[in-house]
Structure 1
């Protein structure tokens, strides 16, 4: 069995237009071959559901940078935001930070819908969905590198971490897309006798652990930020790079894997 895990912004979705249409031929090919596409994004479930519906997929999803997974059953449902959720715990922690550090970070919860729309380039209805968070808080850190390290150290002591995505500095529980990918793989493995093989596609630092953990990782070119470093897995041939960016690169690389028999 094969599973394809993919980041959205800058990977399956164009960095500027958020369109996935250039990848439609590859998506149709995967559907015809019965290969599930698992979305793995820093976006919220509320944001990802309409995208999944537009693509035409209904599989489980890794949400909020790997801070949560939904669609594996009732145990994977997001917590009530008004209860003692990871998001509420994180927001409480931020309020308790020393003022000189707390002032360096602004997140989606600090911004109104108009500001989130401005920062993300999303229309207002989509920006409102981006604010419906259960696990994590993306935003901007404006302090010095020393302040950033002190900020991260305080988060670490409370069970949280921070990751740099393609657009935002995101605060979240100590987990990753890679850990959630393993959870999804285990779910599918219980229902099949053959080994589950994985392909993962991404473009940003917060995707790297997932790419490293997959049987085949694919780095999608994104000229909007610095290229990901070459790792030992890439030197061994387990990670490939696209020449084209966004959904164009996604489309080409999936077709390439099908042509070589990996998918």
Structure 2
């Protein structure tokens, strides 16, 4: 029996998701990386006892990757369902992580699944599949850095109900670190203070800031015995930037706080 993944709610997202599933409305998670979007979907899939299929979208992700393709097997050419088609048939939850990164044909392909039709046309087979009653489509994207062609169009966004994820308040974030890593609460609070300080340093021009995920990594290293300052350096500072001056500035800041 799979253990329910740990998830600490920071708002009404669990209730909203349950109603979204009940009413068969696609669900969109918005927010920066490392704020618990993927963990939340894993938690909800376990809570609802549904199979979860996750696709990490990137610039080469095409509709063929999701729907399926013909492959050669021995002397035969056979059709192989893609993850989206599988989810539609089995009534699974499919999670398109960072959907805005995928090619435009992916968005076109899912449009008929995200309205009252709840169906998928498979051009190569010449058939239209009606989604299983338990099927649910979930997607996420990071609106903080998406620009131009990577922005989700209003015509796509308005096919979902949406909720925003952000970094939790300090007390909750410290609780998350303790539950995830069994680190001492005092150390957890120091890590959260470091993250909060860096998140507020907008003048550094970081493409991404300190995520809860990075803090969990640092806490794990500290809990396993790696020195605190070194743990913060390799798990928090170095992943954020390659600018040597910024790295040194962040290291100095963290060394004063840990």
Compute the TM-score of the two structures, normalised by the length of structure 2: 0.28
Q: Which has the higher helix share?
A: 2
Compute the TM-score of the two structures, normalised by the length of structure 1: 0.27
